């Protein structure tokens, strides 16, 4: 569960990056599950009274009037591709909630373990999946460059 810092000998919390295209203040099933899971993991402590996880959540949903400071984890809203890449490189595990190709591709490119949490029918419905990914030019570029097309 821990990363060992070889230089200092300290034990550090596992760095989790959650990516959810939709999040509070938007309301829905994905938003509810992601908030519950992230809140629960952020509140897990070791017997030495240290956090098990250092959790950051990245989302494309703007905050509007929602106060992110009430949550027990860091939130980055509407990250640029460069910001997302930095977060991924600094994380130990990438958790993607729903269909979001860019963080999956970047996580794999960075050599990080990537967990995809399935929330809908997008993955099993080819026509919808193509339309979802067709709207993401970054994902299309990553797919083309990685596949040689």
What residues in the chain have per-residue pLDDT under 50?
1-9, 126-135, 147-149
Q: How far apart are CA 37 and CA 45, in angstroms?
A: 15
Angle between helices 101-109 and 81-90 (to 10 degrees): 50
Domain boundaries, the chain: 3-147
pLDDT score, position 30: 87
pLDDT score, position 11: 62
Q: How far apart are CA 55 and CA 51, in angstroms?
A: 10
Residues 27-38: tens digit of each pLDDT: 888 888 899 999
Residues 83-97: tens digit of each pLDDT: 999 999 999 999 999
Mean pLDDT score of the chain, rounded to an integer?
Answer: 80
pLDDT above 70 as % of the chain = 72
Please give the model's pTM, rounded to 2 decimal places.
0.73
CATH number of 3-147: 3.40.50
């Amino acid at each position: 569960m821990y990363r060992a810092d070889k230089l200092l000998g300290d034990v550090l919390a596992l760095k989790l990056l959650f990516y959810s295209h939709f999040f509070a203040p938007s309301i829905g099933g994905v938003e509810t599950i992601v908030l519950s899971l992230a809140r629960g993991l952020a509140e897990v402590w070791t017997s030495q009274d240290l956090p098990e996880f250092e959790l950051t959540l990245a989302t494309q949903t703007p905050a509007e009037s929602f106060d992110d400071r009430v949550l027990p984890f860091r939130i980055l809203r509407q990250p640029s591709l460069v910001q997302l890449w930095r977060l991924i490189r600094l994380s130990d595990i990438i958790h993607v909630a729903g269909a979001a190709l860019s963080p999956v591709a970047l996580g794999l490119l960075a050599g990080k373990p990537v967990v995809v949490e399935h929330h809908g029918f997008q993955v099993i419905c080819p026509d919808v999946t193509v339309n979802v990914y067709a709207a993401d030019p970054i994902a299309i570029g990553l797919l083309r460059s990685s596949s040689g097309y």
